Amino acid sequence: MKPIEALKSARNTYICHQVNRVRLPDFEENRFVRRHITFHGRVQKVGFRIELAQMAERLELTGWVKNAENGEVIAEVQGFESRIRFLLKFMNSLKRIKIRKMENKPHSIKETETEFRIL
């Protein structure tokens, strides 16, 4: 394994461990929504996508996340609104990630979507 791959693997293992340690609250299930979210700031090369995807899976959310060429991260997240709010607060609380601005827009629900993916 190349040194950079080893570092990424160690980072990803650490991130998965940290996400699994987060205590999830009891959620009041409310509106089912889909959001298109653009994250601005220090959000690439810090494990952002894997952390968001891992937490989205724990929260039983579906959708996707990807890096944009301009340094932003773009995601579409679908599920109960209270769980999406928790996900966004969680991501904003991480110290190695610095979200300067978050654009959060409603989007059409995809009825057949069953998982959360990193693109």
Helices and strands (H, E) in the chain, number of each type: 3, 5
96 given a catalytic annotation:
no
Task: Give the active site residue among 34, 35, 49, 83.
Answer: 49
Kindly name the residue from 58, 67, 85, 104 that is annotated as catalytic: 67
Residues 6+ apart with CB under 8 A from 29: 80, 82
* Catalytic annotation present for 67: yes
Q: In angstroms, what is the C-alpha Rg of the chain?
A: 14
* CA pair distance 13, 101, nearest whole angstrom: 27
Active site residues: 49, 67
